[in-house]
Structure 1
Amino acid sequence: MSHLTETHDNAVVELPPPGTPIIEVTDIGKSYGSVIALRDVTTSVKTGEVTCVLGDNGAGKSTFIKILAGAHGHSEGTFEVDGEARHFSSPREALELGIATVYQDLAVVPLMPVWRNFFLGSELRKGWGPLRRLDLKRMKEITRSELLRMGIDLRDVDQPIGTLSGGERQCVAIARAVYFGARVLILDEPTAALGVRQSGVVLKYVAAARDRGLGVVLITHNPHHAYPVGDRFMLLRRGRSMGDFPKSELSLDDLVSMMAGGAELEALSHELQRQLPEGEVES
């Protein structure tokens, strides 16, 4: 079943059926001189699915998303979009193909209204010549309706975006990317600075974007956030892939174990166990 989505220019675009590959990377790698930041990474991003990229700090997640987003070109391997090999030289090239990235800092202006942040840099105008002016009414209506489509009922879009919760600000950024034509949505650690409740809010919006037919790349170090919404899991450690798994082949316990280092964590837990005096039993 295909999805219909309306973009900012009112064009109705029919997205391909869920499961259709949009991005496919094979043995992708990135080197900075003699320093290898990423090597032998293979995964895919498909319509209506969430690909989770997991790893600790320094695992190579940032390098990987910068390649997908067009900020860095890859040094090795193949990077295909819609079946065609690509080598981006700028984020603009990625955006033109519908690959949008929402970074952790969100790049919003806290004191500006929600609607102004939604259209920042792409304001709608009406009239002609010297009478040309911002179409405030239409921008406010679109902001309200697009947020509602993502599951957030925000009646007052004139309030400063800084008054919203962290989860709601993430929703505004996600809805904005969808409205401006994103087919692939890359989310850089969207729950990293949030509490349990707000993390749940963001994951709900991730699922809403997936259900609208987008391919989502969720970057995170938290397997408990990734597993409920993920369809595919690619794990990175020290710049190398530990594997690329569909959800059907990987349980949450397996994912946590791989993230934690498995045998290494078990050995550490034995080392850290409190040694009790002989004959004493720990309560």
Structure 2
Amino acid sequence: MGVHHGLPPAGRRGARRQEGDPMTESVFELRGIDMHYGYVRALDGIDVTVRHGEVVGLLGDNGAGKSTLLKVMSGAHQPTSGTILVHGEPTTFASPSDSTAAGVQMVYQDLALVEAQDIATNLNLGREILRKGPLGWLGFVDHKAQRKRAADELDRLGVRTAPVTRPVEMLSGGQRQVVALARAATRVTGERNGVLLLDEPTAALGYEQTRQVRALIRRMAEQGVACVLVTHDLPLAAAVCDRIVVLNRGRKVADVTAAETDNDQLVGWITGARESMF
């Protein structure tokens, strides 16, 4: 499996956005998010804004609060205080199903794919196409229609994939990651594009597989999908992110465009050697 390689022009990620440009619209926003576990403050007044078609890297050392913040974004945890806004509207996530309904899709490290089933079936999980007539009433799936929809969606995302009839268990790690990302992307694209939350999507991948995933993330952003990328891979963050947010001990210490920072600065914020911007 492969994708169209090559990143968009640098101006795409570094250009200044004009007022009224759809790219300036907030898709997902956190304001003053606190998370307490007894006397332990895991998150302290976190503000994060993710705009239409923007890739935001979320960096930090172990224990910085990245996983906790991701769980708040996905509805797995409810914050102690603070506000979540989706397309500018305040909302509350009581569970992951609430965030999914609001257009927020989480892609976990374990991918949650059904390995014995083929690519088409995995892409259509939870939105199966039933056959027409009595067979549909009995719950029979229209596999031909599902294969066509899967192929069309992968083509729209620019993915050059194995046949959609191939079982997931026969795919490489990079191919499985691309299938998981594509499945999530199909659920957040539409009239009001949503946001993808990506938890270390390249952690177990080699160079070529990482390049495939990187290119797919940029292609999804080009199509208007907002992405939050949690990663320890600084070169990946520099290559794919529009903006980078750094957490340290539960606090936001940096929020900069990728074009305006470098590895030394990021490492300084991550380790605490560099003073917080706030």
Is the Cα contact below 8 Å between 1:67 and 1:73 reproduced in 2? yes
Partner Cα distance (2:237, 2:130) in 1 = 40
CA pair 245-163 structure 1, distance change in 2 beyond 3 A: same
Judged with a 3 Å threshold, the aligned counterparts in structure 2 of structure 1 residues 34 and 250 are, in CA distance, closer, same or farther, namely same
Partner in structure 2 of residue 51 of structure 1: 56
Identify which of 32, 35, 39 aligns with 1:30.
Answer: 35
Note closer, same or farther for the CA distance 1:121–1:80 as it changes in structure 2 (3 Å cut).
closer
Partner SS state of residue 18, structure 1: helix
Q: Distance in 1 between matches of 2:57 and 2:176?
A: 21
Change (3 A) 1:167 1:130: closer
Indicate the RMSD between aligned Cα atoms, in angstroms: 1.8
Deviation at 1:260, TM superposition (A): 4.7
Corresponding residue number in structure 1 for 2:70: 65
Partner Cα separation in structure 2 for residue 175 and residue 248 of structure 1? 27
Which residue does 2:229 correspond to in 1? 218
Q: 1:230 aligns with which of 229, 241, 263?
A: 241
Shift in Å, 1:131? 5.5
Partners of 2:136 and 2:99 in 1: how far apart? 35
TM-score (norm 1): 0.82
Gaps of 5+ in 2: 1-20
Identity of aligned residues (%): 39
Paired with 1:106 and 1:190, the residues of 2 have a C-alpha distance of: 9
Give the AA of the match of 1:216.
C
How many pairs are equivalent?
Answer: 248
Instruction: Check the 8 A contact 2:254/2:269 in 1, yes or no.
Output: no
Shift in Å at residue 75 of structure 1? 1.1
Matched residue, 1:176: 183
Structure 1 residue 52 displacement after superposition:
0.6
**How many angstroms apart in 1 are the aligned matches of 2:144 and 2:63?**
46
Match of 1:107 among 104, 109, 112: 112
1:247 aligns to 2:258 (yes or no): yes
Which residue is 1:158 aligned to?
Answer: 165
Q: Deviations over 1:43-76 (max 9, x none)?
A: 2101111011011222211110111111111112
What residue in structure 2 maps to residue 10 of structure 1? none
Counterpart Cα distance in 1 of 2:237 and 2:162: 30
Query: 2:89 and 2:218 mapped to 1: Cα distance?
Result: 28
After TM superposition, the runs of 4+ consecutive aligned structure 1 residues lying more than 6 A away are none
Aligned to 2:267, what secondary structure does the other structure show?
helix
| Counterpart among 142, 147, 152 of residue 149 in structure 2 | 142
**1:267 is matched with which residue?**
none
Match 1:205 to one of 207, 216, 238? 216
Partner of 1:266: none
Structure with the greater alpha carbon radius of gyration: 1
User: Residue 18 of structure 1: CA displacement?
Assistant: 1.9
Larger displacement relative to structure 2 (233-242 or 172-181): 172-181
Counterpart CA distance in 1 for 2:89 and 2:128 is: 32
**Preserved contact between residue 188 and residue 196 of structure 2 (Cα < 8 Å):** no
- 1:43 maps to a residue whose letter is V
Is 1:195 paired with 2:200? no
The C-alpha deviation readout for 1:133-189, integer Å capped at 9, x for no partner, is 211111111112212222222251111112222222122122212222351011111
Residue type of the partner of 1:118? L
Query: Is 2:103 aligned against 1:92?
Result: no
1:222-280 CA distance string (max 9 Å, x none): 211111111111111222221211234323432234335547xxxxxxxxxxxxxxxxx
